[in-house]
Amino acid sequence: MEKIGNFEGSIHNADYDAPYLAKLIKSDSLIADCGRPKESLNGQWHYGVDQYDTCLRGKWFEEKYFDGGGRRYPLDYSFDTWDTMNVPSCWNTQSEWYFLYEGSMVYTRVFDYKNRGEKRVFIKFGGAANRAFVFLNGEYLGAHIGASTPFCVEVTEQLKAVNRIIVVVNNTRRRSGVPLDNTDWFNYGGLYRDVDIIRLPGAFIRDFTAALKPDGNFNKICVTVGIDGAESGAANLKIGELGIDTRIEITNGRGEAEIAAAPELWSPDNPKLYDVVLSFGEDSLSDRIGFREIKASGTEILLNGESVYLRGVCAHEDSVVNGKAVSEAEIRENYRLAKEMNCNFMRLAHYPHSEAAARIADEVGIMLWEEIPVYWAIDFGNKAVFADAENQLSELIIRDRNRASVVIWSVGNENADTDDRLEFMSALAGTARRLDPTRLVSAACLVDHQKLVIADRLAEHLDVIGINEYYGWYEPDFSKLPRIFENSRPVKPVIISEFGADARGGHRGTADELYTEDNQLDVYRRQIDTLGGIPYVRGTSPWILFDFRCPRRLHPLQNYYNLKGLVSGDKRHKKPAFYAMRDFYEKIREAEAK
């Protein structure tokens, strides 16, 4: 008979996590939830720092307190007398004890439930870093892998009047992870995004998309609908402001329609959003959606048919106070700073930021590059790693494909041009196009520093070629940069997805003194002078809007921060290079306005 605690079952089973990982929660778990009533499970959750994964090894979720004869077992846990921590948050910012903690954290709380006539109930997690094992009332519901994308679990069968939910969150870095165990950003951990209960009727809208038909005419809206719990029937789409009130036939649980319409087109200067209501039977969704077209044509990027320069900047999902659990106010501050720098574009690096980031970008008018963390030396030959990456990409696209602000899906960053990588990332590009044929696909590629040319083989599979280059910093010989552009003949638009230099805020010196603002400014001036003259460079997103935490930066001037920000980490201090970019972008904007 299997015993608990320190008995054979948990002490001899080295592969204790295999049965858990055999039940993965994937992108098909997602449910469209915009405008749905939700009940929050945010708040104070009890937690236990579980370095040795004893909860999973010992199956604590079973809460076996007595043996067959009613004799009490000694327990190594006590859920409801543990300390509490706020959800959503990163445990790293909740106590100095956990600042550098990497491993498992057991989260648990109790909540009441009373049926109000709904037939199906789900719990949605906005994001848990990096793995989450979910249990309800002693039952294992599955594991989600991926620190930055949402997932749902159905709990209809498991719910009781009083419920215990347990979520074991693990942020151990792994060689076979996506990202892998070496990144240039801080590895936060925790239940750091919202947790909500969603009540649904027997038949409900599982997914829907609404976008302008990308045929250059700007006069049709394409809608697709996926129904769960009914094979046939009719959905109804309303866009009051456009006089649209259309029936959409559902067959085999799916429906689609092409509706004649002439919406005001969304753009950063005119972020027009429409109220869209979709209903099916007892179920309905509402969303605010902008309609625009984004295309690549030759080496041009066309927004609503007009050539546009992507005046951008990169940003991490990081905050001095909240870590990765950034607040809406912090997201708005990032966009406000970017707008002050005359940006119309932001590269959200290197993983999906919160859903709010895209919704707010829709509202304030910033185009977005969204990316999955296929970063540096991912284990490209490993099929399970591909499945993980593809799943994260799918979850991102399913979550944000109705966001007008999102114009580019990026399948990765700075990977060596190997055969395995080419196969891996070109397949991801295919997945992105299959899930969403209306946007551009890109990746941040490296130049060939020997031959001084843009020659990444992945470019063939991309719509826009992202190029990261650090001439003037990691590559001190700046004279090579213009030669790269002379030697290259791309037939697609190029975005310089990263360039920059570290500078400690307020640290002044001469232009060749590293880590000074003067050196950073000098690098920016030379970059701007070079990049501004390259016809096929149709966008730039310097690295990076604000300084961010990074365990790889041990120089005393850095103090575990990457200092390439144009603004300090607390966003209070703008470095001189910020103004250089602002003025560069002002010139481009004026030229485009003519």
Tokens 């294992």 belong to 140
517 touching ligand GCU, by CB under 6 A = no
- By rule CB under 6 A, what string of x and - marks binding of each residue 323-362 to ligand GCU? ---------------------------x------------
The CB-of-375 to ligand GCU minimum distance in angstroms stands at 7
Type of residue numbered 196: D
Q: What are the counts of helices (DSSP H) followed by strands (DSSP E) for the chain?
A: 10, 32
Tell me how far, at minimum, the Cβ of 566 lies from ligand GCU, in Å: 13
For residue 495, the one-letter residue type is I
Residue nearest to ligand GCU (CB): 184
Q: Is 413 in the site for ligand GCU (CB under 6 A)?
A: yes
Q: Smaller CB distance to ligand GCU: residue 124 or 564? A: 564
How far apart are the C-alpha atoms of 542 and 311, rounded to whole Å? Answer: 10
Q: What is the 3-state secondary structure (H, E, C) of 142-187?
A: EEEECCCCCEEEECCCCCCCEEEEEEEEECCCCCCCCCCCCCCCCC
Q: How is residue 107 written in tokens?
A: 């989260």
Q: How far is the CB of 325 from ligand GCU (least distance, A)?
A: 20
- The CB-of-374 to ligand GCU minimum distance in angstroms stands at 12
DSSP string of 92-127, one letter each residue:
GGT-GGGTT--SEEEEEEEEE----S-SEEEEEES-
The size of the chain, in residues, is 594
22 CB contacts (<8 Å, ≥6 apart)? Answer: none
Q: Does 562 sit near ligand GCU (CB under 6 A)?
A: yes
Is 89 a residue that touches ligand GCU (CB under 6 A)?
Answer: no
- For residue 193, the minimal CB distance to ligand GCU (Å) is 22
Q: Which of 108, 170, 405, 468 binds ligand GCU (CB under 6 A)?
A: 468
Compute the C-alpha angle 271/272/276, nearest 5°.
130
Kindly identify the residues of this chain, within the stretch 56-75, that bind ligand GCU according to CB under 6 A.
none
Contacts of ligand GCU in 479-498 (CB under 6 A): 498
List the one residue out of 464, 514, 77 whose CA is nearest residue 309: 464
Task: Say which residue the tokens 């936060």 belong to.
Answer: 188
Residue closer to ligand GCU, measured from CB, 184 or 522? 184
Return the H-helix or E-strand segment holding 280: strand 274-280
Nearer to ligand GCU, 46 or 553 (CB): 553
The minimum distance between CB 350 and ligand GCU, in angstroms, equals 6
Ramachandran assignment for 79, one of left (phi > 0), alpha (psi -120 to 50 degrees), beta (any other):
alpha
- 184 contributes a contact to ligand GCU by CB under 6 A: yes
| Binding of residue 415 to ligand GCU (CB under 6 A) | no
414 binds ligand GCU (CB under 6 A): yes
| Ranges within 111-170 binding ligand GCU (CB under 6 A) | none
CB of 577 to ligand GCU, least distance (A): 14
Residues in contact with ligand GCU, counted by CB under 6 A, come to a total of: 9
Exactly one of 109, 504, 564, 571 binds ligand GCU (CB under 6 A); that residue is 564
Residue 353: exposure state from Cβ atoms within 10 A (0-12, 13-18, ≥19)? buried
Q: How far is the CB of 558 from ligand GCU (least distance, A)?
A: 10
Q: Is 186 one of the binding residues for ligand GCU (CB under 6 A)?
A: no
Q: How far is the CB of 564 from ligand GCU (least distance, A)?
A: 5
Q: Tell whether residue 318 is a contact of ligand GCU (CB under 6 A).
A: no
Of 322 and 468, CB closest to ligand GCU: 468
Minimal distance, residue 393 CB to ligand GCU, in Å: 18
Residue closer to ligand GCU, measured from CB, 105 or 563: 563
- Smallest distance from the beta carbon of 240 to ligand GCU, in angstroms? 44
Least spacing, CB of residue 468 vs ligand GCU, in Å: 5
Closest to ligand GCU by CB, 292 vs 564, is 564
**Closest distance between ligand GCU and the C-beta of residue 354, in Å?**
19
x/- mask, ligand GCU, residues 233-272, rule CB under 6 A, reads ----------------------------------------
SS (H, E, C) 188-225: CCEECCCEEEEEECCCEEEEEEEEECCCCCCCEEEEEE
Helix (H) or strand (E) run with residue 584 in it: helix 576-593
Query: Could you say whether residue 371 binds ligand GCU (CB under 6 A)?
Result: no
543 contributes a contact to ligand GCU by CB under 6 A: yes
Query: Whole-angstrom Cα distance, residue 188 to residue 192?
Result: 9
Question: How far is C-alpha 346 from the geometric centre of its chain's CA atoms?
Answer: 13
Which residues partner with 302 through β-bridges?
Answer: 295, 307
State which residue, 516 or 562, has the beta carbon closest to ligand GCU: 562
Q: Report d(CA 375, CA 498) in Å as an integer.
A: 14
One-letter amino acid for residue 155 of the chain: V
187 contributes a contact to ligand GCU by CB under 6 A: no
Please name the residues in contact with 117: beta carbons below 8 A apart, sequence gap of 6 or more: none
Up-side HSE of residue 141: CA atoms within 13 Å toward CB?
26
Q: Which residues bind ligand GCU (CB under 6 A)?
A: 184, 350, 413-414, 468, 498, 543, 562, 564
